[in-house]
Each structure stands twice: as C-alpha cells, then as structure tokens.
Amino acid sequence: MSATSPPDLGFPTDVPDEPGLISLRREGELAWITIERPQVMNCLSFPALRRFRTLLAELRGDLSLRCILITGSGTRAFCTGADLKERRTMAPERVGEFVHHIRSLMDDVQALPQPTIGVVNGFALGGGTELLLACDLRVAAPHATLGLTETSLAIIPGAGGTQRLPRLIGKSRAKDLILTARRVDAVEALDIGLVNRIATSTDGPDDTSDGNQVRRTLDECARNLAATIAQNGPIAVRAAKEAIDSGGEVSLAQGLDHESRCYASTLETQDRVEALAAFAEKRLPRFKGS
C-alpha cells in the first residue's frame, strides 16, 4: 500500500474512511478487492464508497498488478447496491452526493488499466449488478442472482446500468430486465452474456447446500481465469482492453484507427521480443511488462 496521503476524491468531510469495510489482498500479480459487509448483503454505505474509491485510486498506478478481482464477503451476496437504511436518513442534497460517488465508483472500476473480474458469490442486485457491468469479465457461482431492480423502487438504475447493460447484452434484453425489474439466475445470465463463466467443480455435480465449498470453487475458477490473463503480455493486455473499450464508443473507422495506435504501443516493448524468442526456442515466455 502507498505511504502517501490518500487522494482527494471530493467526499464530504464527515464521511469517514473506514479500512475494514473494503479489504485488499494481493496474490502475487493478482489483487482481490472484497466488500466486507456480509451482515447487510455487502451493500454500499457512504464510508464503504470512500474506502472503495480510495483503494482503486491507489491501485490504478500499480502496473505490477496484472488482474484485479472484485467480490463480496461470504456466500450470500456479492453486493446489493446502496445501503437503503442509510439512504432513508439522508437529506436530498446528501442523496445527490451519494449518487455522484456511487456512479464515480463504477467509472473508476471501468477506467482501471488492469483487467478486472467480478466474482459473483450470490445476490448482485441494483448497484451490485452495475458494479459487475463496470468489470471486464464476470464469473458467477451456480446460485448467483443478478438484476437491475430499481424500477420496483420507483427509481431507475443510476450508476450506469441503463447505459452499460444494453452495450453488453443488447437493448431489447436490457429493457426486459430493467423495465420488469426481474432477476436472472446464473444460467440465464450466462445465456444472455451477462456473465462469462459459471464456476462448477471438476469433481462432479455441485452441492450448492455447502456454501463454503461453492465459495472455494468460485474463487478457484476466478483465480484461474485471472492467471490465464496474467500469463500474457501485460502491456498488450492493457492495450487490448483500451482498444476494445474505446472502440465501442465510436465509428468502426475511428475504432480501427485507435486499434492501430494501441497496436503500435506494443511494437517497441521487450515483451514482444521475448515472445518471439520464446516461440523460436519452444518455451513459455517470461513477460516483465516492459
């Protein structure tokens, strides 16, 4: 962790930064960010938002990390969005500040140069699904439940859901989920492209009644996916992510031009030289991110 002063993210001065709400664990070139509020389904309070955004600001410049995994503590919930009990106590102007920061959290996640994986260990509702949409990839436990349920509360998704969901699964499917506020299970989420993997055991049928075993299987699946990404050239992985993300917002011609610039950024790297040498010598490459 950085010894420098935490970044100024514009939070109200009376919102504390509480380290215990969001944890960071490093595993070599991987990092796990975990929402540590299982007793309230890992919903996001104002202090949790501050801790989360502070951690992301610190990790953004750490390019020794090749993948960041985001999950919730326990086996019941990934994240169920905003802390509605806290929200009920807020004055209208305070609600506006909170919405600004939860929207900014999703932007922070999407803007990370490192690839991100959302690890869905149960319910991911409202802002929880919006957090997943900001990640690059999503791995779900068999019992995961996802949904943008805000219209059932007489509001709409306000942290990017109305924009990121249709870009991921298409307008018609996004309208189906948002207008009905219905929830989808892991199988349907995989079928419509909302998640990339369902974590299943290689030892036989999953016993979803054993929450701890399901959790271990989920973490192993997500870790293996992250490790597969991490074994590739880190500069190239970041460039590919940037090209895909930027190209989706412009015309094809503009996207191809941006791809060309991202490709050029990989040509002068030592990693590219190492990849060619490893191919010629019939060995695995040893990428250093340079």
Active site amino acids? 82, 127, 130, 150
Strand, helix or coil at 137?
strand
CA distance 245 to 243: 6
3-state secondary structure labels for all residues of 35-103? ECCHHHCCCECHHHHHHHHHHHHHHHCCCCCCEEEEEECCCCEEECCECHHHHHCCCHHHHHHHHHHHH
Residue 67 CA to residue 60 CA, distance in Å, equals 11
The packing angle between helices 270-281 and 252-267, to 10°, is 70
What's the Rg (C-alpha) of the chain? 20
Three-class secondary structure of residue 138 per DSSP: strand
E strand or H helix at 185, and its extent?
strand 184-185
